[in-house]
Structure formats: C-alpha cells, structure tokens
Structure 1
C-alpha cells in the first residue's frame, strides 16, 4: 500500500536575513535562521517542531504560511508550489492554511471587539454564511469554549487563556486544513495550558485538522504530536514518531534535550542521567562547519568537522543526521549510515553527567 500524499511538503527550505553596513546598506553577512529543512506532513497528523530558542522554529512557521519570503527551497501545499507565489494568488489558499500566534496579548487588536477579530477572515475573504457573520462567529466562540455573549467585548476584558481561545477561534473561522501553532501555550499558566492543548486535540478530531506545533516544552509536544522533528541551528537533526523518539533518541542533541525534561517523581528524577552540554549555542551568522552540533557534542570526531551528516532513515520512520547515532539496535539487518565510521571509534564517551 502506497504512502498517502502529503498535505504539506517542505524541501530544502532556507531563510537568510541579510546583515547590512554603511549608508549604501552593503551586505556583509547573513543570519542563517533556516538552512535546508525537508519534511512532509500528512493530512490529519500533528508534527511537533522542537528545539532551543533561536533555532529557527518560528521562522519556519512563518515561512510555511508565507508570512516571510523564503530565500531558497520549496513549499508545496496540496500539490501547489507556494514558495514564491504572489499575494494575490495566495489569498484563496490562506483559507486552508492558518497560524496560531505565540502571544495572545499582542496578536489581538485591542481596539477591536471579539466579534470584529473573529469575523475578520469572513470579511477579508468575502465569505458569506447562511445565517450571517455574527451567528457564525458566535458558533465558533462556543466551539472553543467561550460564551457567545462575548461577541461585543474587547480583548482586555479576558484572561490569557481566554485570549488564546479567541486567537484559535479566529484561526478556525474559515475551517482551514492546516494550522501552524507557534508556541500556543507557552504564555499561559500550567492549568490553562492543559485546557488549550485538550481543546486543540478535540478540534482536530472534530474538524479533521492537520497541525504543525512549534514548541520548546517537550512534555506538551509528547502529549499532542504524532511525529516530532528536532531542530538545531536552522537544521533538522532528527525526525521520528513520538514513541520512538522519546524512548530511543538517536541524535546526541535529542538525548541531551530529553534529559532536561522535568520529572515530578523524585525517585525517577534522582536515578536519571542528566546530560549538561558544554559551551553556548553558536551564532547563526557563522555556524560551525559540517555538523553544527560538533562544538558541543561528546561523540564528535574529526569527520564531524569536515563532512555534514545527511538526514537519513536508520530505522523505519526514524531519520537522523549524525555520524555516530545512539540507541541503534544491534541487528545485522539494520541499515547503517553510509558515511559513518565504525561505532567503536565513537565509543560511548559522554560529557560529565549528574543527577537532578
């Protein structure tokens, strides 16, 4: 049985922000925020995009929705190449592709009522509803757990969680097929986070939505995602289904990230090995050569500084970009990284570790 056609396909996506100097704005460099991403998202699934602050997650989300113009690569949505499509041609497609923004305070216009905010997509796209825009907006407010009577209120009258629900309601107005959720719960209290995450899951089941969830909270990503992609300095270093990635991470960076996830159980927390990476994250203006993680990796060898590891599938559905991946089953039939030296060379040399 052939694999389903992806709803979204990203191929070699790049975004370099120029650095200029002087009166004539001469370019002297570039911030390589996103530098060659490739992944697919199938209809109905949730892909989690995780990584440290500054790794390019939000820029990726804005590129997918074409809020930013890509420097290179392709973005294919429902078979249409939208990489450099004009705004006039993009407008009809925006009904099917929407974004939930990170900050529920700055993403809502304080001068507009909730009715005007959630009804804006109908007005901009010229969509007519059977019982009028007001009734459609009130139905959407009720769908996301708000009172239809909130129609005439202003954003400052609501809590953070309620504001995020208003943002979600605006996103759902035109019943999109793909939603990019940029840190949808990071600005909310923990108790409200659970409510919003559960709301997103319920809406996905009810409306057959497809999500790309951008987050740095690995616990939230594990709860909501079907597959997880890990980013480091503008590149994807590992993609796998959530069970495989959280149980047996292959890239050293993913291993270090997961070791930092808080564990409420005191006994389990003291038994767990905590990996502390040395040094700071390099600048995206001048990233390290070849493998960008080699300056902080405890398994790095000379090949990591000279040969960039490609993102290859080492197990079914599990891709990793590393010359010395971890947690590979000792099976003769397991495919090996073509350019990797023998595992014996890498050894198991870990950095100084400790317990939490």
Structure 2
C-alpha cells in the first residue's frame, strides 16, 4: 500500500527498444528506441495527460506500464511494488487494480462474443464470484457507463462507435481498478461523442476515486481532463507540468509549437497568435538525432544541443523541462541550470 505522499505509480528510466533484424538468420542490425529513458510519478486520484506527435512512444509507454509489453530497461513501481519483471502468475492479481482502455473501440472487442461475455470476462479470468451473480454485476456496470442493461446479449457490431467505447470502459471497470491507462480513448469517435465519453470518464473518476493516465494527441481533450501534462518527443519526456502552467507558459520549444496549433474559437485572439510551424518530419526512432532529439527541427538550437543531451530538470515549482534554451522561464532559473 502507498502512503498519502507516495505515488500510486512510479516510472523510472523506462525503456523499450524493438530489435530490427535482417537476413535468414535474423541478425539484429539495430533497434527502434520507442521509449528511451522516461521517468514520472502518478499520484492517487489525479489525471496525468500524455501528449506528443504520432510515433513518439505514448502508446508503447502505456503498454509498458501495464506490462502488456516487457521493458528493455528501467523500473515500474505500482503501489510500492516493483512489477517490472514480476511473473505473470504474481502479476495477475495486480491486474485487478491496473486496467487499460484501448484506442480502437471495435478491434478491442471480440466480435464473436456478446457484451455480457466481454464485460464479464474479468470476473471469469480472475475467478471472482459476485453476490448476485455475474450477469447482474455486468448489467450494473453497463448501466453505470450509460448503456441499457438489456444490451447484455447483443454483439459489438450492433452498437455505434461511442457505445462500443462505453463497452470497453465497462470491461475496464469490472474489477474496480485503482488506475486506468486510457490510450486515445476518444480519437476514433465523432466530436459530439467525444465530449460524452470524456464527461463519462470524469464522472467515473469522481464516483469511483480512479487515477488516470490519458494518452492523447488532442490537446483540447487533454486540457479539459488532466491535472498534469507530460509531453513526449521521440521516446523522451521533454516537459512535465501542471496543466495550467503548461498551457499558459510552455517552456520547451516543442511544447510551444504544439500549443500554437490548438484551435482558438475567438477570431480576434486567433489572428493575434503566432503559429509555429515545425520543419520536416519526426526523425526515425531507429536512428534518432544525437544529444537533444529535437534539435533538427528546433529554431533555438545551438552547438551544445547537438553534443549534449539536456536533462529533465525543475525550472519552476512542479514544472520540469529538458532543454538547454527554455522559454518563459526566469533568468535565475536558467542561470541555475547552466551552473
């Protein structure tokens, strides 16, 4: 168990390198560094948003935290237990407390199974008996996420995208987890349905005292639902701060570029804001740039950025950034980092 001041989840120098092989003998010729040394904590009851461009390693990080992928290096600590290399047998009971919502609400549901079988699967796998039977428990969960309990015997293809995502959320909630990793939970849904699912997640968090890690590329969704936000770029964590600080005073140039792309409904304010357009594509994680991985696209890059990797340091209260030339930061903080 964790104390009030201890994180529910602690990730330390987490890495995942996928080997690249060649030839009939499958000789390894390189590695895709999907996640390459990230560290962060998540505290009970909060929501951590994780943002970044496609291919930056967000989804891989979520699968590593839930041990759906085996890490190459680093450590994952959940409720004070190191689960990094825990056997599947010992890990199974912990999966009750740590669940995942997947990005595609259709492919994550078995089309041959009814909703009742899908949502009831966690009870069967964990060998849990409920007071009034599994069917009643499943129907209660369906009602909790806004579905009709009578949908118990229907199949996934009979539902809309938003309803299928609710089914996935219901399955996640079956065992009353303490933490949920939500991987792009609304990206495959219509805008009107997105708001419903986001509001549902917030209501469930308040009702069930849940802790979330929400992975998304929609910065507006992340701003609405998160307490803190982590920004990833090419397998690295480049900024981590409270939501208000990150959106109002981003320090990393990459974060600044992301924020400049967030739509503003007010035309007057929209015209006043400068749009930062990054040059080129995201480099390949198979051969990332040396030192600061963002320097090939950064307008502030200097010689040191090409030879020395900037550490993730705290430049303001609860605001960490990995950059040699951060923005929106006091002179004293910049000098302290340089020293």
> 1:4: how far off?
1.1
Corresponding residue of 2:235: 234
> 1:337: how far off?
4.8
Query: Relative to structure 1, is the Cα distance of residues 228 and 336 closer, same or farther in structure 2, using a 3 angstrom cutoff?
Result: farther
Measure the CA separation in 1 of the matches of 2:337 and 2:163.
Answer: 51
Corresponding residue of 1:343: none
Correspondences of 1:1-20 after superposition (within 5 Å):
4-20=5-21
Q: TM-score scaled to structure 1, two decimals?
A: 0.93
Measure the CA separation in 1 of the matches of 2:149 and 2:325.
Answer: 56
Corresponding residue of 1:85: 86
Corresponding residue of 2:71: 70
Measure the CA separation in 1 of the matches of 2:203 and 2:245.
Answer: 24
> 1:336: how far off?
4.0
Give the 3-state SS of the residue equivalent to 1:211 in structure 2. strand
Residues 62-98 of structure 1 deviation map (CA, whole Å, 9 limit, x = unaligned): 0000000000000000011111111111100000000
Corresponding residue of 2:314: 313
Measure the CA separation in 2 of the matches of 1:313 and 1:37.
Answer: 15
Corresponding residue of 2:224: 223
Corresponding residue of 2:244: 243
Corresponding residue of 1:200: 201
Measure the CA separation in 2 of the matches of 1:287 and 1:335.
Answer: 26
Measure the CA separation in 2 of the matches of 1:237 and 1:194.
Answer: 28
Q: TM-score scaled to structure 2, two decimals?
A: 0.98
> 1:339: how far off?
3.6
CA RMSD of aligned residues (A): 1.2
Is the CA contact 1:310–1:321 (under 8 Å) kept in the aligned structure 2? Answer: yes
User: Unaligned stretches of 5+ in structure 2?
Assistant: none
Residues 1:338 and 2:306 aligned together: no
Correspondences of 1:219-298 after superposition (within 5 Å):
219-298=220-299
> 1:157: how far off?
0.6
Is the CA contact 1:315–1:335 (under 8 Å) kept in the aligned structure 2? Answer: no
Corresponding residue of 1:106: 107
Corresponding residue of 1:164: 165
Corresponding residue of 1:183: 184
Residues 187-243 of structure 1 deviation map (CA, whole Å, 9 limit, x = unaligned): 000000000000000000000000000000000000000000000000000000000
Number of corresponding residues: 337
User: Unaligned stretches of 5+ in structure 1?
Assistant: 341-356
